[in-house]
Structure formats: C-alpha cells, structure tokens
Amino acid sequence: MLMKSAKLPCIDFPVNNKTLKRELLGKKYPGHIRHIENAFEAGQTHVFRWWDEITPSEKKNLLDQIAIIDFSLIKKLFNEAVLNPTQTTQNNLTPPQIIAVPKNDAEKEIAYRAKRVGENSLQKGEVAILTVAGGDGTRLGISGPKGTFPITPITRKSIFQLHAEKIIAAQKRYNTRIPWYIMTSKNNDSATQNFFKAHKFFGLNQDQICFFTQGMFPVVDLEGKVLMDSKSSIMMSPNGHGGALVALKEQDVLNDMNRRGIRNIFYHQVDNVLIKIADPVFIGYHVRDAAEISLKVVKKCHPEEKVGIVVYIDGNLHMIEYSELSRKDMCAKNEDGTLKYHAGNIAVHMINISFLERVYQKEEPLPYHAAIKKVPYLGEDGNVIDPKQNNAIKFESFIFDLLRHVKKSVIMEVLREDEFSPIKNMEGENSPATSRQDMINQFGQWLRGSGVSIPTDSHGNVIGSIEISPGFALDEEELKNKVDKQLQFNGKLLL
C-alpha cells in the first residue's frame, strides 16, 4: 500500500498542503491511499483544500466519503453528458396501445371486470405500495421532506397523511392489509421517519410501514469538479428515483415483500396529491394481462407540453423526454386531428416482483441522466455561495428506464383532473396552490355527481373551498352513498 504512495507527488497534488502530503506519505491512513489516488487521478484534488483546517474526525469522514465515491464513473458520466453529448434521434417510433378512459357501457364493463380482479388481488394481500420520497425537492424549497408539506385545502393535512389515509380507507374497503414501502434518501430519512413517529404513523400499524434509503451520487460543477457542502464533506444528492431498483435489493426490501406474499408493487411519487393509491382497476388490468410493468398515462395538453412520452421504438416500450422528440413527431397528428404521440407519463406504475428479479439477473444498471441545476455550495473562500444561475450537474437514474426490459405491459389512460397533480414549485404551475385547487375541483366534481350544486368561475375552478377526507369517501361512488343530497354548498365544506 505505502509503496503506491510514492507515485502521489507526480499527480496533481495540492502544492500548498504539506500536512496532507506528510499524512498521506506517512502511515496515518494506509487504507485510504488508493482512494485518494483515485480522487487525484480524476482531477478532484480540491476536495482536500481545507485539510489543514479540519479536525481529525472530519478528516476521517472525508476519507470515508472518498472511499465510496467512484471518481472514474463521475468522469465518464461528465464526459458523456457534457463534453461529448450524443444527440439522440428517435427512429421507428410508433404509438403504444392504450386502454382508453371508458366511454360506453361495453368499455365500462371491461373496466368493471378488471376492477374485480384488482380487488381480489388486494384482498389476498398481494399488493404493496411503494412511494418514492427520496428527492431533495429543491424547487419547492421547504426545509423538510416534501411529504411533510401541509397540503389539504382546509385542514392542511400533510401529503404523507393524505396518502396514509387513502391506504387506511383502501384497507377497510378491501378488508386487507397493505404494506407501505417509503423510499427516502440520506438527506431526508431521519426527518421523514421522525415525522411519521410524531404523528403515530397516521393510524397505520408501524410494522406495515417500511422505510428504506436510496443511494447518493456526488454533485459536480459545470467543469466536472465535485462540489463541497462543507470543508470536510463532498456534496451528495439522491441518485434519482431509479435508485429504487438497487435499494430494493440491497436493503432486503424485495425479500421482505416476498416474505409478506407481495406479487406486485403499486409505485407512485410522493408529490402527486391526486394519486389513486391502490387503484383496483389499474391493478386488475396489470394482473389480468400478467404484465411486467404497467403505466398510467394522461393525454398531452398540447404538442410542446414538457412531459415524457410513452412510445414504442423499434417495437420496444420506452419513455422518452419531450426534448428527445423531433419537431415532426411532437406535432404528428392522427387522422382525426388528435396528437399521435400523446401518452404523457405520470409516473404511476404497477411493477411485478418476479420481473424485477429477472432484471437483477441481467446485472445491467439503469443509465444515469444529467440534470443541470442551481445548487448552493461552499466557495473557495469557505463561505456558502447561493448561485444566481445553474451551476451544478446532478446525475440521476430513472425508474422508467426499466421499460427497456419489459415484454408485457399495460398502458392505461386516465384523466389528468382525476389523478395527476404534482407539487414541484412553491409558486406558479405545479405548486401547492394549483394542487389545492385541483383537489377542490375534484371534490366539487364528486359532489356534483351527487346532485349538489357547486359554483365555478370562468376557468372552471370551484368558487370556495372543499375538503373530503379519504376516510369519508375515496371516490365519487362512495360519496354518493354518504352525502346528504339536500346539502347546500355555502363556500366552504369539510367532510
């Protein structure tokens, strides 16, 4: 080991750092020399900039962090994404077959039969919920995990509580127990778990909720140098929702699911407040067709909408970013004038567990994608800099890249106003304000279905505020059986 260290001075060694040089060439950290060399060889010597100033335990933490970072992978990804990006042009695109929203009695009957299959699977305890909640929620910009955000229109229940109450209601309805797996990251795991503890798991049994953490990946600047978030710590961010794939296996989650008799996972993102958790129709189609992964999609609003599109490329299912679609494909129309490629991905999936096990055998990791972001970091003078523009690249893997392995799938179209309202930003589109309005509009729609008159403005938004707890009604049908038909809406209603 120490022999190797003789090479070090010829690598881009921080010249002004005599302590580091002495310590590395000495016997202090023999187990770390190889990792330090890796950092040096990848041109990341600046991580030792404050070596003289940090404490022995901070030094150890920094070295431990360096030991688990794959610097050559960072270099490779940076080169691929930034220095030599390959332009992806998509050939041989075809639209996928989609189960449309039922319009007539025959289609409704098919959906009803699927629902029975889904209900049966739920009753047998074969379905688990997987909520991915490991993201940093940078755009929303709150201090805690996104799921803790107070969201419901009147009582301001948190997003996590809203999901928990939907699970409790589904359990009652199907007389079953639905295990709930929540993926967090090192950045928000303890805050998430503490939130659940402080709220007594929102009435769920503690042992049916399983938290597991995804992997992290270093954040680099626009030149590929890793950013520091303190003098002794390299900035890491969660490695994308695709990190679930590795985490499910490495953290024994899949085994836990198998032990509980789970066959299929209902996957969703924490920030979609209209999510129909454990939707039996969707589960039913997936089970009926023995699908490997199933997807819910919504119709794209207009050709330029920035939403990923589900398509076949050379006969294989793919999700492609809107930016990867050529202008021609983006605007391509069917004979009836509708968009040809309209299946917008809303990140609601059913995932078969045996399929996942087959994917693990292939030992093909999901690819990383680069995203340019604006991220505060520690500047050369040791002070935190809050940049005005994008300064950083995060590398993330995406769960939908699993689609490349899929042979059997179900793609089910749903109405956006019924099922999709994500919270991404603090203001403007996809913000708490739009999500609350979407919830109110949905509740208004349900009430109208029960004959209650609900006023709307010129944009179709309900005038006033409505909140219907999942414990009272999970959907329009259930509400019909419970609501007083003589109800007069006076601008505010909490059920």
| Half-sphere CA count of 466, side-chain side, radius 13 A | 27
Asked if 321 interacts with ligand UTP (CB under 6 A), we say no
Rg for the chain (alpha carbons), in Å?
25
Is the alpha carbon torsion for 344, 346, 350, 354 positive or negative?
Answer: positive
Q: What is the footprint of ligand UTP within residues 459-488 (CB under 6 A)? A: none
For residue 156 the two structure tokens come to 């301001």
Q: What is the footprint of ligand UTP within residues 394-413 (CB under 6 A)? A: 396
Asked if 186 interacts with ligand UTP (CB under 6 A), we say no
Options 106-114, 132-140, 354-362, 413-421: segment touching ligand UTP (CB under 6 A): 132-140
C-beta closer to ligand UTP: residue 214 or 441: 214
Within 8 A by CB and 6+ apart from 478, the residues are: none
User: Which residue in the set 118, 240, 308, 344 belongs to the binding site for ligand UTP (CB under 6 A)?
Assistant: 240
**Tokens 């709307």 found at:** 456
Four-CA torsion 451, 279, 348, 258, nearest 10 degrees: 160
Residues 346-385 as x/- pattern, contact with ligand UTP by CB under 6 A: ----------------------------------------
C-beta closer to ligand UTP: residue 274 or 339: 274
C-beta closer to ligand UTP: residue 396 or 467: 396
Asked if 308 interacts with ligand UTP (CB under 6 A), we say no
Calpha distance 181→257 (Å, rounded): 9
Asked if 316 interacts with ligand UTP (CB under 6 A), we say no
User: Which residue in the set 23, 126, 136, 305 belongs to the binding site for ligand UTP (CB under 6 A)?
Assistant: 136
Asked if 133 interacts with ligand UTP (CB under 6 A), we say yes
Asked if 271 interacts with ligand UTP (CB under 6 A), we say yes
Asked if 270 interacts with ligand UTP (CB under 6 A), we say yes
HEC string of 219-287 equals CEECCCCECEEECCEECEEECCCCHHHHHHHHCCHHHHHHHCCCCEEEEEECCECCCCCCCHHHHHHHH
Question: What letter represents residue 213's amino acid?
Answer: T
C-beta closer to ligand UTP: residue 133 or 410: 133
The 8-class DSSP code of residue 426 comes to S
Options 87-95, 235-243, 304-312, 440-448: segment touching ligand UTP (CB under 6 A): 235-243
